[in-house]
């Protein structure tokens, strides 16, 4: 699925590592993982230094706005959480890049007999999850430490998270770990802004914001425009029966349609809370033609 718009420790939260680093494969999260590292005034996770987005309260608010926007965008469907038509009684579901854990928690509530596992590089800031929901800190590019075959794998907003080779390897691993008849569902955004009536002036900063992000992400080696390559990666991994949906996400509550108006209002909040986090690391380290200062990013 593609779209063209743009800390309390809980007993269900674990850190997965290899046996080379720890005595066991699953270890309680240490305080250093929660503390993170501060860069340009924002907290970043310490598990994988290449990842460009922060892991702090403001960024989790951004992810929550994305989750709500996705629910509104598919609110006309019987099930707005996913579009895959797998078994009505799934056993194992995986949410890669779970962020705040909202999608995993909602799906766990929907399927109380299934085990729903949410994985990310930073502990999701939640104090309670359903008993069938497990939130873990892990790098999905490493060897997976769970062995159950999966009915559904969900990914959302993976731009700038992987190199092209890494995303291909991840798709192949997802394919290998799905049950026969299982599904993978991938939702992506991109900061390119489009207008049906071409009313965005060419000199407007909004007109070139997407290309600015693309250039910085290209310099980092972790593309922003994964929305244009995700289908090819999925096909290369061996998946069949592929469905792709492009949806409009308005920026602001200007639309006449009631659903699009509500979606636009939430998406505007997503942009307002998320722009700095999405841009700061990329632009100050990989900005084109030269790295930006943090003051330039904020202005």
Residue 175 pLDDT more than 60?
Answer: yes
Residue 55 pLDDT more than 80?
Answer: yes
The C-alpha atoms of residue 22 and residue 30 are separated, in whole angstroms, by 12
Tens of pLDDT, residues 218-236: 999 999 999 999 999 999 9
Q: In the prediction, which pLDDT does 53 show?
A: 94
Q: What is the mean pLDDT of residues 174-185?
A: 95
Q: Is 59 helix (H, G, I), strand (E, B) or coil?
A: helix
Q: What is the pTM of this model?
A: 0.87
| Cα Rg of the chain, angstroms | 19
Q: In the prediction, which pLDDT does 24 show?
A: 38
Q: Is 298 helix (H, G, I), strand (E, B) or coil?
A: helix
Q: Is 183 helix (H, G, I), strand (E, B) or coil?
A: strand
Backbone φ and ψ for 21, nearest 5 degrees, come out as -100, -30
Residue 47 pLDDT more than 90?
Answer: no
Task: Compare 167 and 204 and report the one with higher pLDDT.
Answer: 167
Q: In the prediction, which pLDDT does 31 show?
A: 59
Tens of pLDDT, residues 101-132: 999 999 999 999 999 999 999 999 898 999 99
The C-alpha atoms of residue 68 and residue 74 are separated, in whole angstroms, by 10
Q: Is 188 helix (H, G, I), strand (E, B) or coil?
A: strand
Q: What is the mean pLDDT of residues 59-67?
A: 96
Q: In the prediction, which pLDDT does 88 show?
A: 76
Number of domains within the chain? 1
Q: DSSP secondary structure string, 66-109? A: HHHHHHHHTTTSS-SS------SS-SEEEEET-TTSHHHHHHHH
Tell me the pLDDT of the chain averaged across its residues.
87
- Judge contact between 292 and 286, C-beta under 8 A: no
Query: Which residue's structure tokens are 């799905």?
Result: 178
CATH number, domain with residue 194: 3.40.50.150
- Judge contact between 30 and 152, C-beta under 8 A: no
Domain span at 282 = 2-298
pLDDT above 90: percentage of residues in the chain = 72
| Peptide bond just before 81 cis, omega within 30 deg | no
Tens of pLDDT, residues 232-281: 999 999 999 999 999 999 999 999 999 999 999 999 999 999 999 999 99
């Amino acid at each position: 699925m593609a779209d063209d718009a743009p800390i309390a420790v809980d007993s269900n939260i674990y850190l997965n590592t290899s046996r080379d680093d720890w005595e066991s494969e699953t270890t309680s999260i240490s305080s250093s993982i929660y503390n993170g590292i501060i860069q340009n005034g924002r907290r970043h996770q310490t598990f994988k230094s290449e990842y460009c987005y922060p892991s702090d309260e403001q960024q989790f608010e951004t992810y929550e706005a994305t989750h709500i926007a996705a629910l509104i965008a598919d609110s006309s469907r019987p099930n707005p959480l996913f579009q895959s038509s797998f078994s009505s009684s799934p056993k194992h579901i995986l949410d890669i890049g779970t962020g705040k854990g909202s999608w995993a928690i909602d799906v766990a509530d929907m399927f109380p007999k299934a085990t729903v596992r949410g994985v990310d590089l930073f502990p999701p800031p939640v104090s309670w999850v359903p008993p069938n929901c497990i939130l873990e800190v892990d790098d999905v590019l490493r060897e997976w430490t769970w062995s159950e075959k999966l009915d559904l794998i969900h990914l959302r907003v993976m731009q700038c998270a992987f190199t092209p080779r890494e995303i291909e390897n991840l798709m192949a691993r997802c394919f290998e770990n799905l049950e026969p008849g299982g599904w993978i569902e991938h939702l992506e955004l991109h900061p390119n802004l489009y207008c049906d009536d071409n009313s965005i002036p060419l000199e407007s900063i909004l007109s070139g914001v997407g290309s600015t992000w693309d250039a910085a992400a290209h310099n980092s080696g972790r593309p922003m425009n994964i929305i244009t390559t995700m289908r090819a990666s999925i096909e290369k991994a061996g998946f069949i029966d592929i469905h792709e949906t492009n949806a409009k996400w308005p920026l602001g509550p200007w639309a006449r349609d009631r659903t699009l108006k509500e979606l636009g209002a939430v998406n505007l909040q997503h942009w307002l809370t998320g722009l700095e986090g999405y841009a700061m690391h990329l632009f100050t380290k990989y900005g084109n033609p030269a790295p930006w200062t943090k003051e330039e990013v904020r202005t």
